[in-house]
Amino acid sequence: MPAGHGLRARTRDSFSRPFRKKGYIALTTYLRTYKIGDYVDVRVNGAVHKGMPHKFYHGRTGRVWNVTKRAIGVEINKQVRNKILKKRIHVRVEHVMPSRCNEEFKLRKKKNDELKAAAKARGEIISTKRKPEGPKPGFMVEGHTLETVTPIPYDVVNDLKGGY
């Protein structure tokens, strides 16, 4: 059983650098621009000790609420007993990467705008709501002949004697 309760206790695997990703940190990490309201994933980089978030936030997705020179303020939901709190933490850019959580939403929004523009040009009104898949359509089974099956009578008396 582990004894220590330090900030980095039990982070041997989670804070370790991935296979073939050790060494220098890519320049794109520092050249990315983050804006307020962007979704980001907190992913701790074990090679950089400064601005490292607590192990609880590793792998969490949050929203940018503040941008400074070297760090980013991220707002993350944390469940404490029966309530969800919005925790605001400052994390260095090395420990943050842009999230893909709303990528599908953005694509759907773009597609819906195109559909609406095309419908407006035709003079129609369309619904862009997502509808659940309905039941499968009915079909007729053809090419098979019907066969009537009658049950064989069960003889209780012979069965008790031990067979026929």
This prediction's pTM: 0.76
Distance between CA atoms of 53 and 147, rounded to whole angstroms? 72
pLDDT tens readout for residues 68-126: 999 999 999 999 999 999 999 999 999 999 999 999 999 999 999 999 999 999 999 99
> pLDDT-derived band of residue 143, with 50, 70 and 90 as boundaries?
confident
Structural domains of the chain, ranges and CATH numbers in brackets: 28-98 (2.30.30.70)
